[in-house]
Structure 1
Amino acid sequence: MHKAAWLYYMHGLRQDEVAKQLDISRASVALYLRRARESGIVNITTSTSLFQHETLARELEDLLGLKSVWIVPEDRQALDPASEMPVLAATVFLDLIEKGDRVGVAWGRTVYHIADVMPFADLHGVTVVQLCGNLGAPYDYRPDQCTTEIARRLNAEGINIYAPLVLSSERLAAELRAEPVIQEQLASIADCQLALYSVGGIEDDSHLVKCGALSAAEMQEMGRLGAAGVIAGQLIDGDGQPMDCAHNRRCISADLSSIRAIPKRMMVVQEESKFEPLVAAIRGGLASHLIVTASMGQRLMQRFQS
């Protein structure tokens, strides 16, 4: 309803144009606009704080060229954004899945928390695939854990990549990527209709450092060389492009061009410390659907308007 009102009243689109952009019927657009008028949503002078967040979401969509943005408020006393965001993300994720979809899933604390609160559904015909190789058993939030749990919640087929995320040498990684099974799995990622992931940072306590893929000193050096964040285990630069580095060449992970080919790339970012990695990911076209906090949304507005 908010999006229909925004496109109709703020962008001046006709009802049939709004219907086409939102992929709904013209009758639905007319209904949403009537409800928006009745509820006072289109009356800016009486809009609530919730509409302010909706306005921010629509402005971010316009500014960043994203399909959809959701904002988690931080100004309600009873609200904990850290606990509400996974619930919102799980709801949005289920909304985006269609029958027969192939869904790519990455790893990390954010994705694991989304999986942990995801309601059970019966989505036969949906396939959940791992976007990158795996980590050692002691590490929490492993890629296979995230993929398996989401597949279990959806009653969907789960496909894990049974290979390490990072190999000990570039030669070994190249040989493993050339294995028919791994090659087929990585190539099929471009056939996904939806991806769920976050973006990692390059701090000394980042996931890649914690899991032993890089030492803190090596990560610091990568930062000096231009690394800005981590996507599916791979280092990206400030423009969201993969770094030409030994670490990336040792990774068993989806090619970033394959990820960009996925129509719905849902990125969820909670921590304020991930602002710069998020900026890089957006610049690199690695997100089409975004969930962030209100403060992160405001920072994005300021950065991309400057």
Structure 2
Amino acid sequence: MARIARMYHELGMKQTQIATELHVSQPRVSRLLKRAGEEGIVRTVVALPTGTYTELEEALEERYGLSECVVVDADDSDQGVTSALATAGAAYLETTLTGGDTIGLSSWSATWLAAVQQLAPFRLPVADRVIQLFGGVGHPQVQVKATRLIDQLARATGAQAVFFPSPAVLGTPEAAAQLRQDVSVRSVLDQLREVTVSLVGIGSLEPSPLLRESGNMTSEEDDAQLRAAGAVGDVCLRFFDAQGRPVASDYDERLVGADAEQLRAVPRRVAAAGGQRKHAAVRGALLGGWVDVLITDVDTARALLAQERPLSGKDVSGAGGAA
């Protein structure tokens, strides 16, 4: 048994070769190899390469009920985190998009913008549609980036691009409500129910450089109202508190795009987010069920695990309100 184990595992011989050399049957070789494992003659050792954080990923999945987590090395600058997460995001898409999905995309995410730019075109279509999750507009030079992001991902995946034909933020709730009834806007809103994979960022109350550049920011009055309501972060400009519960506000009513209920109902909800200023926002997004696949940096991962064990999913969802 020991000799067969050494021939197979150390010398790299095939079972048929071993059977011929030792004049035994191949089924006997197979049985003895199995027994060698059971008796401890053969032991499996997994040597993880540097920069691999499998234990952290598994701990986060268990702690926060995630279906998958990807943890990567990154320096502590915003640009360093964005670059590392973008590379991981591109790799995640390359390995998990297999066909038939309708992708919902947050077009103001700097991380996904960088990830899509790294994505090589698939040889065969792996998605049916790429849909913008909320309105566009903003400063023209920045709007080009958002439009390009949707178009590039659609081209890479062989999908149809679906753009949001409206601003993200209106001046009044009444104007937003009226625009939602527009035929072209209503058409996109209806398609959001068919999204099977969402790709989003997680924002903090401090706007990202891309969002600040776009002009789609909250006003000082909005900030004050959101802080007073306990908001710590947002997904697609839908704000939530430290427990992930949607925060109702005048700003929320002025938005045109996927609402909290739609965003949290998507079957696979992928977020790429990290960096020290987003720790509270990322945790809130996990607790509130806004995300079920997280791509993040190692420092954020450790910070999330250092927090007290979260409430159960039942406790968190039961405490929420409609956005």
- TM-score interval, normalised by the smaller of the two chains: 0.7 to 0.9
SS of the residue corresponding to residue 289 of structure 2 reads: coil
2: CA distance between counterparts of 1:258 and 1:299? 29
2: CA distance between counterparts of 1:109 and 1:286? 19
- The normalised TM-score by structure 2 is 0.73
1: CA distance between counterparts of 2:211 and 2:51? 37
Does residue 161 (structure 1) correspond to residue 164 (structure 2)? The answer is: yes
Q: Is the 8 A contact 1:131 1:253 kept in 2?
A: yes
Residue number among 138, 143, 150 corresponding to 1:147 in the alignment: 150
Q: Which residue is equivalent to 2:93? A: 93
Size of the alignment, in residue pairs? 264
1: CA distance between counterparts of 2:224 and 2:114? 28
**TM-superposition CA deviations, 1:122-173 (whole Å, max 9, x none):** 4435210000000221336854332122112223211001100001111110
SS of the residue corresponding to residue 57 of structure 1 reads: helix
| Structure of larger gyration radius | 2
1: CA distance between counterparts of 2:172 and 2:131? 25
Residue number among 268, 275, 296 corresponding to 1:271 in the alignment: 275
Alignment of structure 1 residues 126-137 onto 2, 5 Å = 126-136=128-138, 137=140
Q: Which residue is equivalent to 1:10? A: none
Does residue 227 (structure 1) correspond to residue 231 (structure 2)? The answer is: yes
Q: Which amino acid aligns with 1:246?
A: D
Q: CA deviation at 1:218?
A: 3.2
2: CA distance between counterparts of 1:270 and 1:216? 25
Q: Is the 8 A contact 2:202 2:273 kept in 1?
A: yes
Identify unmatched segments of 5+ residues in structure 1: 1-29
Q: Is the 8 A contact 1:74 1:81 kept in 2?
A: yes
Q: CA deviation at 1:279?
A: 1.0
Q: Which amino acid aligns with 1:54?
A: T
SS of the residue corresponding to residue 269 of structure 2 reads: strand
Q: Is the 8 A contact 1:201 1:229 kept in 2?
A: yes
Q: Which residue is equivalent to 1:112? A: 113
Q: Which amino acid aligns with 2:132?
A: Q
1: CA distance between counterparts of 2:216 and 2:100? 37
2: CA distance between counterparts of 1:118 and 1:141? 19
Q: CA 1:203/1:112 → structure 2, altered by over 3 Å: closer, same or farther?
A: same
With 247-256 and 269-278 compared, the bigger mean Cα shift is at: 269-278
Q: Is the 8 A contact 2:231 2:239 kept in 1?
A: yes
Q: Is the 8 A contact 2:132 2:162 kept in 1?
A: yes
Q: Which amino acid aligns with 2:134?
A: C
Cα RMSD, aligned residues only: 2.8
SS of the residue corresponding to residue 271 of structure 2 reads: strand
Q: CA deviation at 1:102?
A: 0.4
Q: Which residue is equivalent to 1:40? A: 45
SS of the residue corresponding to residue 305 of structure 1 reads: coil
With 211-220 and 289-298 compared, the bigger mean Cα shift is at: 211-220
**TM-superposition CA deviations, 1:242-272 (whole Å, max 9, x none):** 3211111010110221122211111101322
Q: Is the 8 A contact 1:132 1:143 kept in 2?
A: no
With 269-278 and 59-68 compared, the bigger mean Cα shift is at: 269-278
Residue number among 238, 241, 252 corresponding to 1:237 in the alignment: 241
Identify unmatched segments of 5+ residues in structure 2: 1-33, 311-323
Q: CA deviation at 1:221?
A: 3.9
Does residue 58 (structure 1) correspond to residue 75 (structure 2)? The answer is: no
Q: CA 1:123/1:255 → structure 2, altered by over 3 Å: closer, same or farther?
A: farther
1: CA distance between counterparts of 2:191 and 2:208? 32
2: CA distance between counterparts of 1:283 and 1:89? 22
